[in-house]
Amino acid sequence: METVFVEYLISVGVVTLCTVISIPLRSILDPTTFAMIYLLGVIGVSIRCRRPAAILNAVLSVTAFDYFCVPFHNSLFLEDSNYILTLIAMLVVALVISTLTFKIRLQNAAAMNAEIAIQREQTRNALLSAVSHDIRTPLASIYGSATSLLEEEERLTARARHELIESIAEEASRLNRLLGKLLEMTRLDAGAELKRDWYPLEEIIGAALTRLEPALRGRAVTTNLPAELPLIYVDDVLMEQVLVNLFENAANYTPQGTPIEVAAIKDETRLVVSIRDFGPGIPVGDEDRIFEKFFRGKTDGVRGAGLGLAICRAIIQRHGGAIYASNRPEGGATITFDLPLTGVPPKIFAMSEHST
């Protein structure tokens, strides 16, 4: 209801503007010139507003043109009966313009809906294609290991049984991470609300490293965080997921045992965080594509659905930031994201010790 009222105001306002432009010039210009001015207003309102407001604008435009621009001025009396045909023609043209514009808007909306439907279908097919293999593989491994335990338990050594159980746990964990990423991507696409508060960056980094301790075992992870870093206003769960995905990505695409570096800097308006690795780097031309859903590039046996970096981009953008990738001159890749430093963080007071 409020939107309809605003459109009616726009309709009346455009007629008023056309009239204000026309009145000072009506003594020196032909009335047909002013008809074009009002018709331009009709076109503008038809493009911007819905049909009722456009029809109102067409009727008001013809009335205002007759009253202010056709001799006698400031009167609905027509000095020349030929102007009756002009007014009728103008009204018909205005109504046709508004009707055709309305139909074009409907056709555009239908075309956009069809395009969205096609994109959803393509996304669904891409999802099924990307995920089917990555779900079947761990399930097959879990099934095979579990079957071996059931059928060969008595003939298996304790070490062999332990390895099979370890394989089941590892594949189940991989499957759980994959499903978690799918659910997270769905939640972000649906526009889930951020649960933001003030957190120290080092705390979120520490939580992410703790979650990935098994995957990062044998790697040196170096952090370079200035002591004066401010608190950041973020959804800590989602930001932790960003760092988990970035660390996991660095571990998956670099040789075992190579280090990972984390660094952060800030300026007056933004906090910039970088994750650097010492692997082969990103193929030239893929620096932007790696953040697309289901894009995996040269995997070299690395398993995954290609959602990790897409999730990172979605989360960072929801926080008003940006994320990008580059190759280091000395070798390896760098994933960098920045976050806006907005708002006033709460003051943290140190608690003094009192002797009792």
> Both tokens of residue 222?
């170096």
pLDDT at 356: 40
Average pLDDT over residues 96-101: 80
Q: What 8-state DSSP symbol labels residue 67?
A: I
pLDDT at 305 over 80: no
User: How far, in Å, CA of 242 to CA of 315, rounded?
Assistant: 7
**Model confidence over 107-128: pLDDT tens digits?**
888 898 888 788 777 766 666 6
Q: What's the chain's average pLDDT?
A: 82
User: How far, in Å, CA of 282 to CA of 331, rounded?
Assistant: 10
**Model confidence over 249-264: pLDDT tens digits?**
898 888 888 999 999 9
pLDDT at 355: 43
* Cα 274 off chain centre by: 21
User: How far, in Å, CA of 307 to CA of 209, rounded?
Assistant: 20
pLDDT at 275 over 80: yes
SS3 252: helix
* Cα 202 off chain centre by: 26
pLDDT at 270 over 90: yes
pLDDT at 272: 94
Where do the domains of the chain lie? Answer: 1-192, 197-340
pLDDT at 348 over 80: no
pLDDT at 169 over 90: no
Give me the CATH topology for the region 197-340. Heat Shock Protein 90 (3.30.565)
| Nearest alpha-carbon partner for 203 in 245, 238, 231, 224 | 231
Helix axes 31-48, 51-64, angle to 10 degrees: 170
User: Confidence band (pLDDT; 50, 70, 90) for 301?
Assistant: low
Asked whether 238 and 194 are in contact (CB, 8 A), the reply is yes
**Model confidence over 200-257: pLDDT tens digits?**
999 999 999 998 888 888 899 999 999 888 899 998 888 998 999 899 889 888 888 8
pLDDT at 2: 61
Query: How many degrees, rounded to 5, is the angle at CA 336 between CA 333 and CA 342?
Result: 175
- Residue 265 belongs to what H/E stretch? strand 260-266
**Model confidence over 34-89: pLDDT tens digits?**
888 888 888 888 888 888 888 888 888 888 888 888 777 667 766 666 667 777 77
Asked whether 275 and 334 are in contact (CB, 8 A), the reply is yes
- Name which of 10-24, 72-86, 264-278, 311-325 the model is least confident about: 72-86
Strands 322-327 and 232-234: unpaired
**Model confidence over 136-149: pLDDT tens digits?**
777 888 888 888 88
pLDDT at 352 over 50: no
Average pLDDT over residues 155-180: 84
